[in-house]
Each structure stands twice: as structure tokens, then as C-alpha cells.
Amino acid sequence: MKKTFIKISAMLAIVATLSSCKDQLGDLYLNPEQTTTPSVEKFFTQILNNDRIYPKYWDMRTFALTHAGVFSQVISYTNDKFIYREQAQYTEQRWGDFYTTNGNGSGPLAHYREIEKQYAKLSAAEKQNADVFVNAAKVAMLEQTAQMVDLWGDIPFSEAGMLNLNGSITSPKFDDAKEVYYSVIAGLKDASNYFATANLSSVTAGSFKKQDILFQGDITKWRRLANSLRLRALMRISFVDEAKAKAEVLEMLNNPTQYPLLEETTQNALLNPVTTYIDNLRNAFYESNNHLGASFLLDKVLKPANDPRIAVIYDKGGRQDGSKWVANADYYAMPLDLNSTDQATNITNGKYAVLDSATFVYNSKLPGVIFTSAETHLLKAEAYERWGTTTDAATAYNKGVAQSIAYYYALNNLSNSTAPKLAAPSAAAVNDFLANSTIKYAGSSAQKLALIWTQKWVQFGFMQSVQAWSELRRTKYPQLTFVADNTSGFALPPNRLTYPGRERTFNPNYSAVSAKDTRDAKIFWDVK
């Protein structure tokens, strides 16, 4: 399936002439694609309405599972040829969906440039009313910007989107990845500071509530999200610039009043479709055999711990024997060291566990996951273990795992699938699991960090596969084994994605980054 792009990042489509997205925003929200009067608040809503966040077929099938999911082993995959080679047409679409508005993403940078243009036309009083939209839009755009750096490294940013901003056709330079990341960190802090003192009129508050399809106008949650995203970004750079990361992270953790975080499951940043969505992810999983028990996840992490998440992540699977269904005796993962022929035979015979039907396969109510409280506590645990006390780290770690359990059971229970749903384990059962299983917070500091990083990988799973792949490259945990593909040049997963062909062809500034445009080059924070 092919899509048309207009000189990626250099010639961004004018938002006033956008073609209609597949999912309309509906009557509850003011859709910028259904109006001839552009405004800051409408562009803000469109930034959020992003099919690269929603877990829908296209992103899952072409990118989240088959690229980041495979590269991080958060899902299963068969040993087919070229399994570690990026599929250029799909990675190019992922790139383009950040810069343009005619794909499966919302074009967050293009829409943010439109916001900047419209904001500049406002009076001082109108700007004061628009500030809440601008800052929330900035948070959403910066979250996606950090992912672009995590995937590619240097990206066009500061000069990208000039067609939207001022009507000029510009070939944007590639900004240094580290500089972009630091601007993300600074921008998130600025947004947090704004939300800390924001005082909206009743009219603005009502409008913001209507346009805000993520938090329904809750400014406190936007402030928490900005701080949590900043915490993530600071920890991401913590091995390449530990001094900066340590100073800013401890400032945040030591002053929770000034820098509140997303710390409770009720504060999770989960994006739900704004229109009735009745499709599910079955085809996305089954077309590439990503639905089977993932070897390391199941055999090395979940089963040894008798982890309560197993029951809502996987079904045991089985086979049909005439008119009788014969379930497997246990949750069996698909070994990655089997040849593809043996894997295929075993799949046909139903040998392996499969992703849970209620939680994932037939759950059309799955939200898009931007940030969870479980991640917050696991980030805090790493910071405390490295720069604070192991006691505080243990407390944060236990909260992170407990909230990860709650998260997975919540996904299972919100399902509209007819498959059975399970009651979450009791607090006592969770506490016993934390105290007595193989994931107990114990050992040397290095062993504890390994526990933290592995549990964060479990929490991300395929729903946040880009984050899983990024943290795997940063921390080198969990310590996965990848069976080499015998395809020359693509034997193992890449360290980064290579730039799209259209960028190489149409952006003359590509020459400045061409020498490091290889799959073996590392993102600046990947130094461990």
C-alpha cells in the first residue's frame, strides 16, 4: 500500500486543505478538517487525534509490531528471511506521519506550526486564552519529537514546517539529535511551569475541556504529563550526560509539589478513540505471527516468577481435535532458535500460547498509551538506585510493578470482547508476589537495576514498542539473544532506522548526515 508525500519535511501540506482522516472526531469535538476557520484549539485536537498513538491495524501491522516490536522482542516472530531489515515504505510512512497531515498520523509538527501561525495573529487578550491550548499542544508535539530522535537520531526540526508557519518552501536542516532532545526537555519544563499557574476563564476552561480528547481539560494531569515526559527524557540521556540528568531529576523528585508526576493509575495518559471504533487487532497480530508466546518474556521473566500478568497477557492456546478443543497444559512460548519450517508446523498444531483474546486480540477499546504511572515509578526506582537510596528505589520499584499488574488487568477488564475477563489479584496477593518471587528487589545494585529495566520492558510491551526498543538500546536490558538472519547486512536488529528515500532525494541538507546514515550508527544516548 503506497501513499503520496510532498517532499517530506520540506513541503508540508497546508492544513486548511487537509483530506479527511479515516476517523472523524464526531459531534463532541470541533474538527479542523470540517471547518474553513482555522484556530489554535482545533489544531490542538488534531495533534492528539493520532493513529500512531491509537493501537489500530496500520501502525501495529507496519511498524509497532514488525519493526520496534521485533527489534525489542516484546512480541513473537518467525525466523523468516529479512526479519531484521526495515521495510522502507513503512518506515518512510512513519517518518512522514510526523511531518505531514495526509497519512495515518496526525502530522503533529505540521499542526503545531499552524498553531504558531494562528497564535501570532491574536491580540494579547486572545493569546492569554489560547495559551492553554498552545502549551498542551507543545507537550503532545514534543512527546512525538522525542520518539523521532529515538528512531532516527538527527532530524529536521527547527526549520521544518515553514510552509505551514509562513508559507515559504524551505529545505530544513537536520538538527543535531542531542540538541533536539535538550530542547524537548526544556520545552516540557516550560509547559509544566505554565500549567502550574494557569488560571482559565470559564469560557476557556469549557472550550479546553471540549477540545482535549486526552484529559478532558484537566490541567493538573497535563502538568503531570509534562513532568513525567521530562523525567523519561532525562533518564534517557543519563548515561551520556549524567550530570545534567542527575541534577534535574533529583530537583524534580525532591520537589513533588513543584513537579508532580503521573503516579496513580487514574492519572495514566491513555488516548481513547473519540468515535465508535469496532475493529480489532487480530489481523495485525496473526498476519505476521506476532500473536504467539514471546520466548524471553514468557520463559525467562513471567513464568519463573509465576507472574499474575501472564493470565491477562496470554491464553494457553491449543488445537481443535475433531469437535473437541484441546487446550495446552501450560503457557508455551515459541522458541526463536527453531527454523521457520518447524515453527510453522508447531503453529499449525497449536503448540504455543497466544495473546489474550479479551485483553488484546479482540479488544476494540484498547487505548493508545502515552504514559503510565507504572513507568513513572520504575523511572524513579532507577534514579533512586543510582543517585539516592536503595530503600527509596525499592519502594518505587514495588509501586511500579504493582501498578503494571493493575494496568494489564484494567486493559483486560475494559474489553468489549466476549472472551472471559479476569478479576485483578488482591493487594495481599500482589504484595506476596513482590516479596517472594524471582522479581523480588534484591541483590547488588547492578542486579537491582537489571530488575528495574526488565520490568519496564515488560510494562511497555508491544503497546509501547518504540519505548521498549529505546530502553533496550539504552540499558542493554533485558539481555536478549537474537538469532542471526543469514541475510548479508541485516543479520541482527539495527541500532537506528535509516532515513527515507524521499528525504535523501529531495532534501539537499541530507548530505550533512549521509555519512552516519547507517543501521549500525547509534543514537547519541546509546553509549552503554
HSE-up (13 A, CA, CB side) for residue 373 = 18
Per-residue confidence at 33, pLDDT binned at 50, 70, 90? very low
Three-state DSSP state, 314: strand
Q: What is the pLDDT of residues 161-217, one digit of tens each?
A: 887 777 777 889 999 999 999 999 999 999 999 999 999 999 999 999 999 999 999
User: What pLDDT score was predicted for residue 38?
Assistant: 65
For residues 96-117, give the mean pLDDT: 92
What is the predicted pLDDT for the residue at 8?
38
pLDDT 10s digits, 80-93: 889 999 999 999 99
E-assigned strands of 183-330?
Answer: 269-271, 314-315, 318-321, 324-327
Query: Is 506's pLDDT higher than 80?
Result: yes
Alpha-carbon distances, residue 378 vs 48, 110, 157, 395 (angstroms): 26, 33, 30, 10
- Alpha-carbon gap, residue 256 to 497, rounded angstroms: 37
Contact 269/212 with Cβ under 8 angstroms? no
Segment 501-515 shows an average pLDDT of 96
* Averaged pLDDT, 213-242: 98
For the residues 275-282, what does the mean pLDDT come to?
A: 86
In the 8-state DSSP scheme, what is residue 294? B
pLDDT single digits (tens) 345-396: 999 999 999 999 999 999 999 999 999 999 999 999 999 999 999 999 999 9
Instruction: Say yes or no to pLDDT of 14 above 90.
Output: no
* Nearest residue to 136 via CA among 202, 60, 210: 210
3-state secondary structure 362-385: CCCCCCEEEECHHHHHHHHHHHHH
Cβ-based burial of 127 (10 A; exposed 0-12, middle 13-18, buried ≥19): middle
The Cα 383–Cα 250 span in angstroms is: 8
Among the ranges given (32-41, 198-207, 442-451, 472-481), the one the predictor scored with the smallest mean pLDDT: 32-41
Q: Phi/psi of residue 325, each to 5°?
A: -90, 125
Q: What pLDDT does residue 107 have?
A: 94
* Cβ neighbours of residue 240 closer than 8 Å, sequence gap 6 or more: 178, 524, 525, 527
In sequence order, which residues have a C-beta less than 8 Å from that of residue 422 and are 6 or more positions away?
A: 311, 312, 409, 412, 413
Write down the mean pLDDT value for the chain. 92
pLDDT given for residue 486 in this prediction: 84
**Residue 21: which pLDDT band, with cuts at 50, 70 and 90?**
very low
Rounded Cα gap, residues 93 and 346, in angstroms = 34
Confidence of residue 37 (pLDDT cuts 50, 70, 90): low
Q: How far apart are the first and last CA of the chain?
A: 38
Question: Mean pLDDT, to the nearest integer, of 94-118?
Answer: 92
Q: List pLDDT tens digits, range 256-267.
A: 999 999 999 999
Residue 23 has pLDDT above 60, yes or no: no
- Tens digits of residue pLDDT in 312-341: 999 999 999 999 999 999 999 999 999 999
Q: Over the stretch 471-494, which tens digit does the pLDDT of each residue have? A: 999 999 999 999 999 888 999 999
Between the alpha carbon of residue 414 and those of residues 274, 363, 366, 461, the distances in Å are: 16, 8, 8, 18
Q: Cβ contacts of residue 4 below 8 Å, gap of 6+?
A: 102
Pick the residue with more confidence: 423 or 102?
Answer: 423
Residue 525's pLDDT band, with cuts at 50, 70 and 90, is: very high
Whether pTM > 0.75 for this model: the answer is: yes
Stretch 135-158: mean pLDDT, rounded?
A: 98
Mean pLDDT of 492-518: 97
Confidence of residue 20 (pLDDT cuts 50, 70, 90): very low
Q: What is the pLDDT of residue 104?
A: 81
More confident residue, 34 or 28: 34
Question: In the prediction, which pLDDT does 481 show?
Answer: 96
Per the DSSP assignment, residues forming a β-bridge with 294 are: 334
Least confident interval from 8-12, 65-69, 247-251: 8-12
